[in-house]
Amino acid sequence: MITLPNRDAGTETGGSRVGAGARNLLLRIASAAVLAPIVLAAAYLGGWFFLVLCALSASAILWEWTRLVTGRSDLHILAPGGTVLAAAAALVGANAPVIATVAIAAGAVLAGIAALAETSRNAQDRGLWAAGGVVYAGVAFLGPALLRSGTELGFEAFLFLAATVWLTDTFAYSVGRAIGGPLLWPRVSPNKTWAGAIGGLVGGLAGGTLVAYAGGMGRLAVVGVIALLLSALAQAGDLIESAIKRHFGAKDTSQLIPGHGGLMDRLDGFLVAALAAVVIGILHQGTYAPARGLLVW
């Protein structure tokens, strides 16, 4: 993400905002130090270890989305959504990614119909948001799961994606905080700046290219362009989630991760970039080789 402290930090309350910002940064670092090794270990092991992690993360995202848009743990969304996420994990594990995608789409329709069945003045809006939540959680699962599922270059592709997005996040935060300047989209997020966005692109390009170079991938120029695209899409995903939260008047989707908020807050850009990475890989080398299709040109 391209998150910045308020540009007036420390001027209104004698430095209290600076102190709060420093504490939040320490929490972010501590959370990352705990979670990153778990994610990387699961990605390295692959198989059901990684599929279960992806399914659990997507389920948590669905729960956060549901609470965000309905104010409660609404079973009209959670029941069909959770069921199809579990089914999708089993189907991807059985090497049936197309059927898994269809299952998630069906779950979105069922969640929308269930929400529409409620006798509420806003039932139609609730139906759309319910279906959108299952799609959003499904994307959060399918992107990394399909990218890693390939036996050839699956882990390398995940590292490429992770380095691109994580360094986009890190550079955007650091550069934006150091430089400040004009806001990127003040109506959606009052703290994201153009300087941070450009810094994020540089970080994402560097992260993806370095991973590709270390892995001995050919045609680094092409891979670098892909990293740049994924970096831009990761930042777009961050803005989309910010717009959704602003629509519902929320700052964070939950408090699951100290210093970050919820999984939606942490993975907003990652899931968009992961979906794009899988689409690029499939378009290049087919449904069953998205990792190779992403990296080998």
The token pair at 98 is 């197309």
Residues 6+ apart with CB under 8 A from 5: 17, 18, 21, 177, 191
**What is the pTM (predicted TM-score) of this model?**
0.88
Phi and psi, residue 183, nearest 5°: -80, 145
Is 50 exceeded by the pLDDT of residue 9? no
Same domain, 155 and 239: yes
- pLDDT per residue as tens digits for the range 76-121: 899 999 999 999 999 999 999 999 999 999 999 999 998 888 756 5
**Of the segments 7-16, 56-65, 120-129, 282-291, which one has the largest average pLDDT value?**
56-65
Q: CA–CA separation, 137 vs 62, rounded Å?
A: 5
Indicate whether 3 pLDDT > 70: no
| 248 and 270, same domain (yes or no) | yes
Q: What is the pLDDT of residues 219-259, one digit of tens each?
A: 899 999 999 999 999 999 999 999 999 999 998 899 888 76
**Looking at the 3D structure of the chain, how many domains does it have?**
3
The C-alpha atoms of residue 140 and residue 66 are separated, in whole angstroms, by 15
53 with 162, same domain: the answer is: no
Residues 172 and 224 in one domain: yes
Domain range holding 55?
A: 47-149
Which tokens belong to 122?
């806003």
Closest by CA to 195, choosing from 208, 207, 183, is 183
Name the pLDDT band for 31 (thresholds 50, 70, 90). confident
Q: Spell 133-172 as b/e; 16+ CB within 10 A means b.
A: bbbbbbbbbbbbbbbbbbeebbbbbbbbbbbbbbbbbbbb
Same domain, 132 and 275: no
Say yes or no: 194 and 264 in one domain.
yes
Specify the DSSP class assigned to residue 262. S
Is 74 in the same domain as 117? yes
Task: Report the distance separating Cα 258 and Cα 272, nearest Å.
Answer: 23
Choose the final residue of a domain: 97, 131, 149: 149
Same domain, 138 and 210: no
Q: Is residue 203 predicted with pLDDT exceeding 90?
A: yes
Q: Indicate whether 39 and 164 sit together in one domain.
A: no
Tokens of 226: 């892909």
Of 119, 134, 149, the one marking the end of a domain is: 149
Nearest-angstrom CA–CA distance, 276 and 89: 19
2 in a structural domain: no
- Which helix (H) or strand (E) segment holds residue 211: the answer is helix 194-214
Considering the domain architecture, whether residues 28 and 73 belong to the same structural domain is answered as no
Do 81 and 167 fall into the same domain? no
Residue 144 tokens read as 């990394």
- Rounded to the nearest 5 percent, the helix, strand and coil shares of the chain are 75, 5, 20
